[in-house]
Amino acid sequence: MDPWVEIVLPRPDIGGSVHGPVNRARPPRHRRSMSVITVTRLGKSFGRVRAVDDLSFSVEPGAVTAFLGPNGAGKTTTLRMILGLVTPTSGSATVGGRPYRDLTDPLTAVGAVLEAAAFHPGLTARTHLEILRTAAGLAPERVDHVLDQVDLTGAADRRVGGFSLGMRQRLALATALLGDPAVLILDEPANGLDPAGVHWLRGFLRAYALQGRTVLVSTHALAEIRQIADHVIIISGGRMVFTGPLAAGSDLEELYLEVTR
């Protein structure tokens, strides 16, 4: 099934209805406040290296937010702090007003695709998903559903050790989608995807945001993200250097090179 078709259909679980042609659906208030990412004066030091320094921003639902910056700017560290995997040295990060570690059902609140997502090579894609679905207490049919969403059903019963980088990336996305989350956080999600895969991912993320959900994407692929991002956050050396809406027709590459110089 074409995932694009599937996700623009009305979905009762997001409150708002999206009928007919795709348009910006405003989700109800409670849902909106549930899915705002707020980063407040966030800092992280590794020894003497200040990886993230006094970083503050918020990521709103209903939009794709691009999270940009040079290698070593602190993007991955910031995302891992939002996800409770890395403990901040100072400041805080919350999703829907709560630190990730305090979320009751984190998988239904936030889906994450981290850079170079790892899998046990000896397990099949289905088993990988089944383990996490069971741990999260989600409905059994979610596994087949997300496999179908990322077009991985045909490879579901193959060991992940034989997967290409693109297939692993799809499996990582499937894992992130298990809980049908209101927030998607993706670190370099297009890595290893072939052109058709990139095209598909672009449509997928766009549609996800159109449903009123929050999408935060860290990437170096400016030309790609340019096509779907509504908002841009650029950091460099662990500090914020630009945040603002991405106006139609503006040159993202020029802006990026200008502020990270």
Partner 1 sequence: MKDLIRAELVRARASRTVRILVVLAPVTCVLWAVLPVALMGADGPLSVDDRVRNVYAMAQQAYVFTLLLGILGTAGEFRHQTITWRFLVTPDRGRVVNAKLAAYGIVGLVVAAVSAPATLAAGALLLHLGGHPVTAPGVPAVLLGAVLAVTGYGLLGVGLGALIRNQTAAVAVALIWFMYADYLLTMLLPGLGRRLPTGAARALAGMSMENAELLPAWAGGPLFAAYVLAAVLAARLITLRRDVT
102 vs 253 by CB, closer to partner 1:
102
The CB-of-175 to partner 1 minimum distance in angstroms stands at 6
**Sequence-ordered strand ranges (E) for 13-101:** 37-46, 49-59, 63-68, 90-95
Taking the alpha carbons at both ends of the chain, their separation in whole angstroms is: 44
**CB atoms closer than 10 angstroms to residue 248:** 5
Cα 81-67-52 angle, rounded to 5 deg: 40
The CB-of-87 to partner 1 minimum distance in angstroms stands at 6
60 vs 115 by CB, closer to partner 1:
115
- Produce one character per residue of 34-58: b if its CB has 16 or more CB atoms within 10 Å, e if not: bbbbbbeebbbeeeeebbbbebebe
The CB-of-21 to partner 1 minimum distance in angstroms stands at 35
Distance CA 175, CA 169 (A): 10
Where do contacts with partner 1 occur on this chain (CB under 8 A)? 77, 80, 83-87, 100-103, 106-107, 110, 112, 114, 117-124, 127-128, 130-132, 134-137, 175
56 vs 134 by CB, closer to partner 1:
134
From residue 203, give the alpha-carbon distance in Å to each of 129, 145, 233: 23, 18, 21
Count how many Cα atoms sit within 13 Å of the Cα of residue 126 in the half-sphere of its side chain.
11
110 vs 186 by CB, closer to partner 1:
110
The CB-of-99 to partner 1 minimum distance in angstroms stands at 9
Distance CA 185, CA 114 (A): 8
Distance CA 207, CA 130 (A): 26
125 vs 246 by CB, closer to partner 1:
125
The CB-of-9 to partner 1 minimum distance in angstroms stands at 27
The CB-of-178 to partner 1 minimum distance in angstroms stands at 9
168 vs 206 by CB, closer to partner 1:
168
Give me 6's structure tokens.
């599937």
